[in-house]
Chains A and B, each alone.
Chain A
């Protein structure tokens, strides 16, 4: 075992996470105070808040994968999605609310990758909560300057003649990448194809899985 001599590591080989027993921060106190006041004054209830947290947790990249798989198998939907992704996905039951959605299609010549340099804008209704790295300063600052290096670090090396299009999600739009459909899947159903569509492939930091993988 490579980690045998390090007693600050758990049996799994990973470091123990420090206990979260520091005093509450200002904003933690503020959140608790506002939440308790809203409940006390009857504006909302603890059940409503828990239901909203459950609803947020229930949104996963499987939603986005269903959209991508349908775009791969239903040409009319693909056209509608590229034309107006908010409406096309809403009709599938994925309402993006007041935001608007743009679908970015990868082709043999173009690879799209999404970042929000200003904060962490992300199509949560299709992909769930963003991964920590998506919110990191490193990803946000480097993706607009050296996207090919970022892609290589994610294991994606593109041919020189592929155009990389970086999309900085700066305002009211949200973005989902439609990855390139893997070869050898011509007779696959949308359900089966959905299993090939990873979260990262819809951010643009990955590709769809290959049928054999």
Chain B
């Protein structure tokens, strides 16, 4: 577990076309694998050239995302997040 790279999803609510689910913003997960680069969909949506960005598959525990309301604390959610939405983070504390 110590070799995990933890990242926090930016806690922002910008307008426009964004493919970062709101329920994961501000949450901390670890990198499951790195994909891409893929063009930034926030630019593509407005017919701009999309800047190529790494796409990270982040894995979150249910406990991190939903706290005590989580269905199964050891269960996980994986999601693809573009790198400009991520910042380095420490491992989250158990809720």
A166 touches B41 (CB 8 A): no
**Interface of B with A (CB < 8 Å)?**
19-21, 23, 35-36, 38, 41, 55, 57, 65-66, 69, 71-72, 74-82
CB distance from B52 to the nearest CB of A (A): 12
B21 touches A170 (CB 8 A): yes
A149 to B66, CA, bound (A): 15
Mask for A141-169, Cβ within 8 A of B = 1, else 0?
00011111100000000001001111111
A148 touches B19 (CB 8 A): no
Mask for A117-145, Cβ within 8 A of B = 1, else 0?
11000000000000000000000000011
A172 touches B55 (CB 8 A): yes
A160 to B20, CA, bound (A): 30
What are the 7 tightest A-B residue pairs by CB atom distance, in nearest-first order? A171-B80, A164-B75, A168-B79, A146-B71, A166-B77, A172-B38, A170-B80
Contacts A147-B75, A165-B75 hold; do A171 and B66 have CB atoms under 8 A apart? no
Interface size class of A (residues with CB under 8 A): 20 to 34
- A147 neighbours in B (Cβ, 8 Å): 71-72, 75
**Interface of A with B (CB < 8 Å)?**
100, 117-118, 144-149, 160, 163-173
B35 touches A165 (CB 8 A): no
- A160 neighbours in B (Cβ, 8 Å): 72
- B72 neighbours in A (Cβ, 8 Å): 147-148, 160, 164
A172 touches B21 (CB 8 A): no
Choose among B36, B75, B78 the residue that contacts A168 (Cβ–Cβ < 8 A).
B78
A160 to B74, CA, bound (A): 10
Apart from A147-B75, A170-B81: 4 A-B pairs, beta carbons within 8 A: A145-B71, A166-B76, A170-B79, A171-B41
Contacts A146-B71, A148-B75, A172-B55 hold; do A117 and B21 have CB atoms under 8 A apart? yes
A173 to B41, CA, bound (A): 13
- A149 neighbours in B (Cβ, 8 Å): 71
